[in-house]
């Protein structure tokens, strides 16, 4: 397993421990770092196999803080898309994220249903 996939595995473990449900990791155009977002709260997890000397290889809200109460799908979608746009990540990668948002909509719907039934 190469380094970036090892870091992704670590990031997935820490995020899951903190209650986040991550999307797939999208690789940046430089082929170096990769990031994923929580489907429930929009928090980001970033892995960077070759960080700057003062940098860290796994970081982001999703690996640092616990998942907050579920946000609505449009809120999460906005958070993810604005994060990707800031990085200039292409439509191709964003398409992957948008496919994940369909899953997010289903997840959010089931959480909402659960909340209303209890």
Of residues 6, 97, 4, 117, the one with CA closest to residue 44: 97
Q: Toward Zn ion, which CB reaches closer, 63 or 67?
A: 67
CA distance 27 to 4: 10
Q: Toward Zn ion, which CB reaches closer, 19 or 51?
A: 19
Q: How far is the CB of 26 from Zn ion (least distance, A)?
A: 17
Interface with Zn ion (CB under 5 A), residue from 12, 20, 37, 71: 20
**Part in contact with Zn ion (CB under 5 A); list of ranges 6-14, 33-41, 51-59, 72-80:** 33-41
Does the protein bind Zn ion through residue 37 (CB under 5 A)? no
Q: Which helix (H) or strand (E) holds 4?
A: helix 3-17
19: Cβ contacts below 8 Å, ≥ 6 apart: 66, 67
> CB-based burial of residue 30 (10 Å sphere; 0-12 exposed, 13-18 middle, 19+ buried)?
exposed
Binding residues among 47-86 for Zn ion as defined by CB under 5 A: 67
Interface with Zn ion (CB under 5 A), residue from 12, 35, 40, 71: 40
Interface residues with Zn ion (CB under 5 A)?
Answer: 20, 38, 40-41, 43, 67
């Amino acid at each position: 397993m190469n380094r970036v996939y090892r870091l992704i595995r670590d990031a997935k473990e820490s995020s899951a421990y903190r209650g986040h449900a991550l999307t797939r990791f999208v690789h940046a155009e430089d082929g170096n770092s990769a990031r994923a977002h929580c489907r429930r709260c929009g928090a980001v997890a970033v892995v960077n196999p070759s960080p700057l000397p003062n940098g860290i290889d796994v970081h982001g809200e999703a690996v640092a803080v616990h998942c907050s109460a579920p946000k609505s799908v449009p809120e999460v979608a906005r958070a993810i898309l604005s994060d990707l746009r800031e990085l200039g990540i292409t439509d191709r990668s964003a398409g992957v994220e948008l496919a994940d948002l369909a899953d997010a909509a289903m997840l959010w719907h089931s959480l909402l249903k659960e909340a209303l039934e209890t």
